[in-house]
Amino acid sequence: MSTKNIAILASGSGSNAQAIMDACKQNEIAGVVRIIISDNPKAYVLQRAEENNIKTVVERDFEKIKNLLEQEKIDLIVLAGYLKILPKSFIKQFENKIINIHPSLIPSFCGEGFYGEHVHRAAIERGVKVSGCTTHFVNEIADGGPIIFQKVVEVKQDDDYKTLAKRILEQEHPLLVKSCKYFCEDRLEVKGHMVYIKEKKCEH
């Protein structure tokens, strides 16, 4: 099993990106983060990348981003708090190679306009008893791609959107790492709108 080359696209603080970098360092993920690309020159994720000696680029032009990914021979693209919408042509070129994490149990509180605190505010206002997070492959529909893994988080009676967001974020990190790990072990197979999890091959 060859080591996969990973690119992370992020717009903010990059705590999910940090979890992936750490997991790669500890050989939990059979991959190497080759580049971190941000649309935001002030994003803290860029500092995290530099501290880990990972190449950083600030770029908003998707044609240039595509060229960068090809140069780095990227196998997996991870959206870790990336707030720009990917063009359809970009998604098609990297079909089933882009993983996103969303802070709810898709199909609840997802799609256009549902990101960051908007998701948690909507969950609190609706009075749901559970929320959580979802990893999925990206397709042309916002948060509409095949679901990989989900983690349920209880919504407590005294939660506000901030306390709920904090507890969900704690679950996002291991869920995203697990998704990247399984991808890099070639254990995720997409058939139609379903992701099938394959058994890990025993290495002799």
In angstroms, the CA 17 to CA 177 distance is 9
Does residue 102 carry a catalytic annotation? yes
Residue labelled with tokens 């974020």: 169
Q: What would the two tokens of residue 203 be? A: 């290495």
Give the C-alpha distances (Å, rounded to integers) separating 161 from 6, 15, 131, 156, 187. 32, 19, 11, 11, 35
Which alpha helices (H) appear in the chain, and where do they start and end? 15-25, 44-51, 62-71, 88-93, 117-126, 161-184
Q: Per the residue annotation, which of 102, 120, 136, 173 is the catalytic one?
A: 102
Residues taking part in catalysis: 102
